[in-house]
């Protein structure tokens, strides 16, 4: 019941869609914001006579309570259920130039709890207000804060007050993050201090002012840090300023959008504002979807703000999905359709259905309020027949060929495999389970055979022995180039006589440590997942399936090679694994059953001087061991003139050709350095090859969504790729980090072929889960590539956020010493050593824990995250709110939680429709529009925000 108290958020935050802000006296702490020209100058700070800011004339002042509407404070009190308005669908029609009418999507309207409840508040401590005379904001708060400011659409400012770090991220040009250095005002991790930040634009110059002082000290203009940056001429003006803040204790995220110069027509702005207020992470997609869903005339001026690329993408999807939308000409008798129906039938019958009042009470008390699986004794004849039919259909549909060469089990074997998988994925959505049930391993009679030939790493060959025994001095590496904590800072650039740094010269003057890596929202020092960037080269690299053949070393090597090509600008073209396998010098009967490693991959392509496209030599694991094919004239050679470069470690005689290896055991006293090296290599080359232990640790039912905290082994048996990393909060409320690892066991294994492991692992481990990391050291030279049409530069009028934007905002604000511990309220989906798999997870550990670790599903309580959104324009505020079922849900590219229902009482119905039909729309450019086309019941549900 305690969580229901947070429903009161809705009562306060969304009650008024359009509220006139009250006028109050300016707050007493507005010194820095009220007179930004009065601060004394010290070592290049303000009051430079040449700065053009003498005196206080026209100085920006704080707009009277532009956001001080007490809406950052959320009243607590008795929860009240939402009340539908008398007219649940108010419509405002605004004529457009095309003669069509645009119907804004109304926000839910709820009643407001009366006066007394507002006395007890949940507060977001970081406050912001719009400046009166200039385009800018003033932000104040405690030094323990982390927040972000976006000067839309051109600059993002990251403020880590605790660590005295402020960073700028220009969006114009191929720019990087810039550290703001030489700040004399420092928080020094003092929780009793407060900061004041003023950001504003004057005469095309961004001015930043920063002040730190004790909480109760008198406001002063003395010794304020001032930084100035000249902004180049841009095609678009700054349109708004967005401020993002968090209250981690109560699961609140607040986003404010201050409109400062909206050039978009009013009718179009109404649509984009609704998208923002409904929590959309891709406003352009939502905006475009709304225009199409509301059937706005294509000549309407609002279509001018949709990019050409977006129009082309959605038109392409419309052509592909047309038959699905109409429900016509669909081959209902296809095996694919029959398999989908079979999976739906199985998932509908494999859970118990409670009929009596006593059974319903039992269901309520059942762990996690989830459905309970039937037992083998309750397996009925209908389900038995369906299980056999399911595997028959899966064999016809599956392209891996695994079921062609393994005995299919009977209904009991299949049932046991399926139950094991479902128990490993408690509380998972129907859509995800539908995907999981396409794993052919579920139909094996002898499930232990599945993993045997899924491995294939071997380090025993004499000619590659040095790969795992290379001895090096960690101290040497500390002195090398692998310290990734070196940022581009503003003191690298010359200032003019007024202390202004010209950002237009940034890309010409900066000194990059790597010519290939630029930190951005998809890959930086804290987070990296380039597969989230759907327009990027690396995201086009698909998950591979090695089948029943131990060629993991080839698949890991070729993915690493392909990401290097992407990072060097050669584009992605899928290379042939079968060509490499069949051009090995080994006996053909050893190819699938005697493992190898990436060194042999390099030796094969170096010796043949050739690496064709997958389309020229397609992979099928039963073809491994055939003759090495002779390249044909029309084949493309992806290896081209690539050269293997020598690598010599400092003060050592040993030289490796074409690769560098790092064994984690040599870093046992300095794992931080090992992690820095891996991050640096991923940043520069897109991925690394990782040696891991899979036997008795990872299997067909492995849950890839959570973060596994596992040990490694002295002898690895499998090669995979680390393709990214990120942060998470474990069950004890501790902030930790994970590796994102891609396997070659198919899309339906793990989390779409990937899984996550804690970077450090349990403290009692003798070996880290990542045994060794290998990276190629090659010069690609001139490579022949197929001709492609020149890609135009992508332009969008609206901002697009990374899927992890809200999660990282929350994570960076969270501190483990909070009085309010997340383990009492917020549980991540971290899968530690589960009771029923304990032996598998701790087989390589030296001192396994004594306590049994129960399945998290038995004690995990999901915590809602409330995202409060505000749009401020002309002293009026529009509010929106989105509730996420858990913090992890804020990581997703798309979320059905953002589904909008005109009738609040029917929101769950709309949300369920989104979930049930997600599979049909997940690959659409605009899943929201796809869902809108499928939903024909009425006009209540709106999906463009998902």
What are the catalytic residues?
A: 552, 718, 743
DSSP string, 41-74: P-SS-S--GGGS--SSTT---B-TTSS-SSTTEE
Task: Please report how the helices 552-567 and 598-608 are oriented relative to each other, as an axis angle in degrees rounded to 10.
Answer: 70
Q: Return the closest-CA partner of residue 570 out of 685, 658, 678, 659.
A: 685
Q: In DSSP terms, which residues pair with 873 in a beta bridge?
A: 876
> Helices then strands (H, E): number in the chain?
22, 33
DSSP structure class, residue 777: -
For 258-334, where are the alpha helices, taking DSSP H only? 266-277, 283-293, 308-326
Structure tokens at 765: 């481990």
Q: How far apart are CA 887 and CA 733, in angstroms?
A: 13
Q: How large is the C-alpha radius of gyration of the chain?
A: 29
What is the β-pairing status of strands 643-644 and 646-648? unpaired
Q: How far apart are CA 568 and CA 638, in angstroms?
A: 13
Using DSSP, state whether 248 is helix, strand or coil: helix
Q: Return the closest-CA partner of residue 674 out of 686, 690, 659, 658.
A: 690
Q: How far apart are CA 15 and CA 11, in angstroms?
A: 6
Structure tokens at 775: 């990276």
Tell how far CA 324 is from the center of its chain. Answer: 29
Q: How far apart are CA 71 and CA 42, in angstroms?
A: 37
User: What kind and span of H or E run contains 865?
Assistant: strand 865-873
In our burial notation (b when 16+ CB lie closer than 10 A, e otherwise), range 264-295 reads: bbebbbbbbbbbbbbbbbbbbbbbbbbbbbbe
884 CB neighbour count, 10 Å cutoff: 24
Residue 217: which residues within 8 A CB-CB, separation 6 or more? none
Q: Return the closest-CA partner of residue 53 out of 198, 159, 249.
A: 198
Residue whose entry in the numeric block shows the structure tokens 């920063």? 210
Q: Return the closest-CA partner of residue 508 out of 527, 493, 529, 490.
A: 493
């Amino acid at each position: 019941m305690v969580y229901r108290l947070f429903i009161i958020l809705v009562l306060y935050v969304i009650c008024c869609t359009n509220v006139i802000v009250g006028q109050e006296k300016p707050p007493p702490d507005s010194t820095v914001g009220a007179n930004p020209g009065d601060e004394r100058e010290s070592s290049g700070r303000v009051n430079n006579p040449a700065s053009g800011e003498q005196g206080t004339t026209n100085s920006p002042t704080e707009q009277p309570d532009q956001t001080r509407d007490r809406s950052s404070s959320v009243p607590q009190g008795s929860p009240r259920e939402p009340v539908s308005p008398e007219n649940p669908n108010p419509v405002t029609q605004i004529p457009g130039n095309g003669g069509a009418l645009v119907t804004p999507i109304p926000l839910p309207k709820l009643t407001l709890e009366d006066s007394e409840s507002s006395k007890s508040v949940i507060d977001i401590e970081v406050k912001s207000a719009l400046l009166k005379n200039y385009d800018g904001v003033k932000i104040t708060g405690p030094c323990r804060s982390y927040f972000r400011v976006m000067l839309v659409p051109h600059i993002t400012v990251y403020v880590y007050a605790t660590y005295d770090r402020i960073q700028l991220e220009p969006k114009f040009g191929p720019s990087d993050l810039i550290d703001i250095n030489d700040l004399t005002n420092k928080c020094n991790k003092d929780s009793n201090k407060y900061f004041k930040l003023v950001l504003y634009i004057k005469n095309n110059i961004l001015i930043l002012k920063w002040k730190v002082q004790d909480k109760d000290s008198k406001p002063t203009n003395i010794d304020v840090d001032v930084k100035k940056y000249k902004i180049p001429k841009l095609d678009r003006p700054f349109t708004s300023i967005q401020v993002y803040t968090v209250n981690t204790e109560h699961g609140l995220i607040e986003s404010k959008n201050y409109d400062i110069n909206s050039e978009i027509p009013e009718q179009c702005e109404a649509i984009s504002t609704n998208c923002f207020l409904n929590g959309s992470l891709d406003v352009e997609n939502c905006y475009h979807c709304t225009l199409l869903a509301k059937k706005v005339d294509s000549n309407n001026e609002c279509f001018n703000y949709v990019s050409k690329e977006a129009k082309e993408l959605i038109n392409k999807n419309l052509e592909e999905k047309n038959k699905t939308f109409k429900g016509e000409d669909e081959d209902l008798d296809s095996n694919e359709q029959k398999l989908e129906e079979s999976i739906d039938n199985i998932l509908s019958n494999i859970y118990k259905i409670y009929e009596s009042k006593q059974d319903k009470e039992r269901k309520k008390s059942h762990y996690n309020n989830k459905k309970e699986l039937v037992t083998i004794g309750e397996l009925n004849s209908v389900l038995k027949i369906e299980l056999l039919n399911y595997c028959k259909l899966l064999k016809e549909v599956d392209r891996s060929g695994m079921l062609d060469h393994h005995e299919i089990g009977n209904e009991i074997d299949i049932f046991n495999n399926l139950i094991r998988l479902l128990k490993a994925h408690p509380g998972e959505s129907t859509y995800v389970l539908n995907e999981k049930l396409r794993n052919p391993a579920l139909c094996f009679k002898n499930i232990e055979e599945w993993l045997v030939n899924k491995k294939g790493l071997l380090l025993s060959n004499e000619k590659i022995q040095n790969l795992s025994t290379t001895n090096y001095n960690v101290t040497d590496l500390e002195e090398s180039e692998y310290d990734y904590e070196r940022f581009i800072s503003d003191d690298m650039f010359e200032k003019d006589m007024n202390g202004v740094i010209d950002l237009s010269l940034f890309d010409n003057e900066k000194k990059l440590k790597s010519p290939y890596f630029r930190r951005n929202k998809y890959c930086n020092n804290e987070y990296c997942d380039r597969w989230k960037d759907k327009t990027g080269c690396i995201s086009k690299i698909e998950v591979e399936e090695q089948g029943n053949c131990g060629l993991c070393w080839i698949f890991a090597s070729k993915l690493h090679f392909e990401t290097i090509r992407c990072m060097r600008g050669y584009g992605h073209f899928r290379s042939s694994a079968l060509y490499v396998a069949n051009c090995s010098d080994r006996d053909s009967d050893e190819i699938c059953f005697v493992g190898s490693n990436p060194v042999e991959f390099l030796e094969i392509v170096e010796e043949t001087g050739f690496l064709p496209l997958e389309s020229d030599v397609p992979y099928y694991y039963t073809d491994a061991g055939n003759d090495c094919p002779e390249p044909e004239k029309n084949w493309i050679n992806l290896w081209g003139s690539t050269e293997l470069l020598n690598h010599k470690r400092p003060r050592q005689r040993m030289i490796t050709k074409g690769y560098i290896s790092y064994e984690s055991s040599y870093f046992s006293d300095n794992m931080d350095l090992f992690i820095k090296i891996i991050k640096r290599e991923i940043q520069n080359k897109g991925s690394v090859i990782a040696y891991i232990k899979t036997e008795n640790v990872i299997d067909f039912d492995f849950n890839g969504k959570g973060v596994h905290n596992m040990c490694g082994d002295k002898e690895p048996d499998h090669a995979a790729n680390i393709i990214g990393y990120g942060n998470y909060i474990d069950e004890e409320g501790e902030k930790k980090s994970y590796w994102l690892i891609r396997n070659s066991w198919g899309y339906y294994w793990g989390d779409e072929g990937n899984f996550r492991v804690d970077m450090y692992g349990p403290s009692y481990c003798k070996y880290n889960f990542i045994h060794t990391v290998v990276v190629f050291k090659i010069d690609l030279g001139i490579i022949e590539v197929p001709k492609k049409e020149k890609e135009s530069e992508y332009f969008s009028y609206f901002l697009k956020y990374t899927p992890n934007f809200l999660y990282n905002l929350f994570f960076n604000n969270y501190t483990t010493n909070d009085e309010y511990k997340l383990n009492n309220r917020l549980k991540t989906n971290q899968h530690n050593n589960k009771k029923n798999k304990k032996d598998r997870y701790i087989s390589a550990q030296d001192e396994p824990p004594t306590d049994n670790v129960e399945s998290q599903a038995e004690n995990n309580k999901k915590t809602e995250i409330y995202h409060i959104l505000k749009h401020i324009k002309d002293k009026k505020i529009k509010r929106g709110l989105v509730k996420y079922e858990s913090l992890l849900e804020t990581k997703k590219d798309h979320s059905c939680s953002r589904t909008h229902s005109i009738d609040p009482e029917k929101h769950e119905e709309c949300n369920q429709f989104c979930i049930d039909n997600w599979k049909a729309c997940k690959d659409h450019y605009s899943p929201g529009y796809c869902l809108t086309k499928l939903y024909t019941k009425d006009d209540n549900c709106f999906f463009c925000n998902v």
